[in-house]
């Protein structure tokens, strides 16, 4: 695993009221899995982006803002709405501990951008646009877990032993998952997957797989782009097109029909993070043959 940044020791730790769980907020559902595993019964965890909502266009409700204003910890993960929300809530709750769980993690460019008239390729990323799907790389997740563990300890020093024990157990599980996936996906090194939205960049980069995407900034591809992608899919031997439920499947279906392949829908925002990761690895491995 790449070296993870260590959270600085906090000199201003504020303990939770005795016998009462602390209130914790996260941005997306996979984070809730991490926070609940780390905190156990010492925290109540709420998620901002509820099932069926798109985090890229999410706007928190007044009720969510009010509840966050009374929380002890907010674990951010680089979603577009977080900076504005933190600014608003910080005025009402200066005691809110905001923990940037991706601080120090090397973020990847959001791959899959394409300009009309160019051949289809995946190395033309828009400058400055970074991939926010950091929970889909096991090695990046292990770094996030450290930041979350330390944030919980800072907010609730009395629970330090619990948080450290839970972190040790969960980190070992993620490490074991990473080793299994490395073996499973080793034959795919240098091969490509095709997905509608470039969701899986951290996952594919970890295991030496190329991610090719269909959409451009959330927009359907042009006929020229579709033709290029069909040719590229044939050239790369792609058999499965990965789609996401928050995006229309039509383009993926057109390409799948043209290459004699199939469309597999995967929801990267599932609450069951380990279950999703297992399904993702299995689908990628099966779709490469």
| CA atoms within 13 A of residue 194's CA, in its CB half-sphere | 30
* Helix, strand or coil, per DSSP, at residue 127: coil
Q: How far apart are CA 73 and CA 98, in angstroms?
A: 6
pLDDT for residue 219 is more than 90:
no
pLDDT score recorded for residue 111: 67
The proportion of the chain whose per-residue pLDDT surpasses 90, expressed as a percent, equals: 73
Length of the chain: 289
Q: How many angstroms from the chain centroid is the CA of residue 206? A: 14
Q: How far apart are CA 176 and CA 151, in angstroms?
A: 24
What burial letters (b/e) apply to 233-266, b meaning 16+ CB within 10 Å? beebebbbbbbbebbeeebbebbbeebebebbeb
Mark out the alpha helices in 100-155 (DSSP H runs).
138-155
95-115 average pLDDT score: 84
Residue 289: pLDDT band by 50, 70, 90 thresholds?
Answer: low
Nearest to 200 by CA among 96, 75, 112, 103: 112
Contact 56, 34 (CB under 8 A): no
- Go through the domains of the chain in sequence order and give each one's CATH number: 22-111+129-181 (3.40.50.1980), 188-287 (3.40.50.1980)
pLDDT for residue 131 is more than 90:
yes
Tell me the pLDDT of the chain averaged across its residues: 88
Q: How far apart are CA 272 and CA 32, in angstroms?
A: 9
pLDDT tens digits, one per residue of 187-213: 999 999 999 989 999 999 999 999 999
pTM reported for the whole predicted model: 0.89
Query: How many CB atoms lie under 10 A from the CB of residue 151?
Result: 25
Q: How far apart are CA 104 and CA 138, in angstroms?
A: 16
Contact 262, 240 (CB under 8 A): yes
pLDDT for residue 68 is more than 70:
yes
């Amino acid at each position: 695993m790449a070296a993870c940044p260590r959270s600085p020791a906090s000199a201003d730790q504020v303990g939770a009221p005795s016998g009462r769980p602390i209130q914790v907020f996260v941005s997306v559902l996979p984070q809730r899995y991490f926070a609940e595993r780390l905190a156990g019964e010492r925290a109540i965890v709420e998620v901002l982006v509820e099932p069926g909502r798109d985090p890229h266009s999410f706007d928190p409700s007044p009720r969510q803002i009010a509840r966050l204003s009374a929380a002890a910890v907010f674990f951010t993960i680089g979603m577009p709405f977080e900076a504005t929300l933190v600014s608003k809530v910080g005025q009402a709750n200066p005691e809110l501990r905001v923990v940037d769980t991706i601080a120090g993690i090397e973020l990847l460019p959001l791959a899959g951008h394409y300009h009309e008239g160019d051949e289809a390729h995946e190395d033309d990323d828009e400058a400055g646009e970074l991939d926010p799907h950091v929970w889909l790389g096991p090695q990046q997740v292990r770094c996030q877990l450290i930041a979350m563990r330390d944030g919980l300890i800072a907010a609730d020093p009395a629970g330090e032993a619990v948080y450290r024990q839970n972190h040790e157990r969960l980190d070992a599980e993620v490490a074991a998952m990473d080793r299994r996936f490395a073996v499973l996906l080793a034959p795919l090194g240098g091969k490509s997957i095709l997905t509608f939205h470039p969701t899986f960049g951290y996952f594919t980069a970890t295991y030496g797989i190329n991610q090719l995407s269909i959409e451009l900034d959330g927009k359907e591809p042009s006929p020229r782009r579709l033709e290029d992608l069909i040719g590229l899919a044939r050239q790369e031997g792609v058999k499965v097109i990965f789609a996401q439920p928050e995006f229309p499947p039509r383009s993926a279906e057109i390409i799948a029909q043209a290459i004699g392949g199939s469309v597999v829908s995967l929801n990267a925002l599932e609450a069951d993070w380990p279950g999703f990761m297992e399904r993702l690895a299995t689908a990628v491995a099966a779709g490469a043959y």
